Amino acid sequence: MKIIIIGCGKVGITLAEQLSEENHDLVLIDTSAQKVQEIPENIDAIRLYGNGASINTQMEAGVDKADILIAVTGSDELNLLCCLIAQKTGNCQTIARVRNPIYSKEIGFIKERLGVSMIINPEYAAALEISRLLRFPSAIKIDTFAKGRVELLKFRIRPEFHLNNVLIKDIRRKFNADILICGVEREEKISIPDGDFILKDNDVLSIIASPKNAADFFKKIGLKTNQVKNALIVGGGKLAHYLANLLLDMKIKVRIVEKDKARCDELNELLPNAEIICGDGTDKNLLLEEGLPHTEAFVTLTNVDEENILLSLYAKEHSNVKLVTKVNRIAFDNIIERLDLGSVIYPKYITMDYILQYVRALQNSIGSNVENLYHILDNRAEALEFAVHEKSPVTDVPLSQLQLKDNLLIGCINRGGKIHIARGNDSIQLGDTVIVVTIQKGLRDIRDILKK
């Protein structure tokens, strides 16, 4: 597919790297000559210096022959204008990053009247992910499939869970648990394990289950499953605003620490039911005075990664709190993961997953679509949900008889709203949605799970 990306910031480059790996025909545009020059050499793309909202620039990029135009500049208005011009100039699908809360109530109008195919709000998407984590604080990460009927949850094995040296195939019998362990992270290694894989303390597991079955399993191994009652948030930006609204709707008490007086006044008006504390969130004494040792959730959302990381490390030493740490830069994500900062949220990855999900669904014309897509296992594997719309070599055949690609696992089948963990005797039927976990990147159709 021919894809034009306008905006070569962190999101644009992260997205371009992934799309380049999947062999799309890319054109990258930015108004900064320096950013254009700094595009990594491993990205196979045409690089254009210019204004993406200019008709001439878009024509030079080939918008009349493009399949998708993605606008991810730092300006909501510029992104929408780029998409509007692309709609009038070419015949491509358009995706805009729109972050301002003012526009969040107008998305339906914008999509219908301006013809924007998809609007992605990184801060709101990240807020949704954090709210899910605070509803189920034992998990490091939660991704949802089948409209919330299935969850992919990530957690770390502690000695008190008594899972050390246990074979995966014995988990179901030992705990009477209807779950599937679909990924293991052990130091630098990741695995999509079989039944003979031996678990070790400190492994990070990813499991697939219905919310009820996941909760039952966590209770049996001794993990807390109740949502938090209160949250202390450091940083009062857009993400904090979105998150506070979601948490207040969940009846969670919210306190926000923000050092900018003008922003505190805004937040007091926007969030009358939250407590806004005007002060420096990096002040250890302030955090202790505000009850950090007794807070159930501590969420660091400043614009400085180093502050967020150090604050979470400090909170970890002084409380038994549920930690959520926002990180913008992703160059050192492998080091950050080793710090055990609780749940680390990367808005850039979340944005990329949403857009890739749309791109793959649009690209596929065979009848099975990518309904959901998440990068998991330290971003080295994917969990995908396919909708099966027509018969193919994968349907009506027992899973045990399918010649599946290596490092690929069929995790769960959703049939008419009923969820069950996939076993060898099950088969994929017309109308199912199927969740697949794989190290193989770039799957676009359910038939891609088979060896060639």
Q: Is the pLDDT of residue 420 over 80?
A: yes
The number of distinct structural domains making up the chain is: 4
Final residue belonging to a domain, choices 221, 244, 267: 221
Let me know whether 209 and 237 are in one domain: no
Let me know whether 249 and 320 are in one domain: yes
Let me know whether 132 and 116 are in one domain: no
Residue 350 lies in a domain: no
Per-residue pLDDT of 208-224, as tens digits, reads: 998 888 888 998 998 87
Let me know whether 263 and 297 are in one domain: yes
Final residue belonging to a domain, choices 189, 221, 253: 221
What pTM, to 2 d.p., does this model score?
0.80
Q: Provide the residue type at 310 as one letter.
A: L
Residue 352 lies in a domain: no
Per-residue pLDDT of 122-177, as tens digits, reads: 899 999 999 999 988 888 888 887 777 888 899 999 899 999 999 999 998 888 88
Let me know whether 327 and 245 are in one domain: yes
Contact assessment for residue 294 and residue 301, using Cβ atoms and an 8 Å cutoff: no
Residue 371's SS3 state is strand
Let me know whether 89 and 168 are in one domain: no
Confidence (pLDDT) at 364: 59
Give the Cα separation of 119 and 186 in Å (integer).
36
Final residue belonging to a domain, choices 345, 375, 399: 345
Strand residue runs (E) in 21-147: 25-30, 45-49, 68-71, 93-97, 118-120, 141-145
CATH code assigned at 96: 3.40.50.720
Give the Cα separation of 337 and 135 in Å (integer).
22
The Cα diameter of the chain in Å comes to 65
Q: Is the pLDDT of residue 23 over 60?
A: yes
Let me know whether 214 and 186 are in one domain: yes
Give the Cα separation of 66 and 73 in Å (integer).
19
Residue 304 lies in a domain: yes
Structural domain harbouring 311: 230-345
How much of the chain exceeds pLDDT 70, in percent? Answer: 97
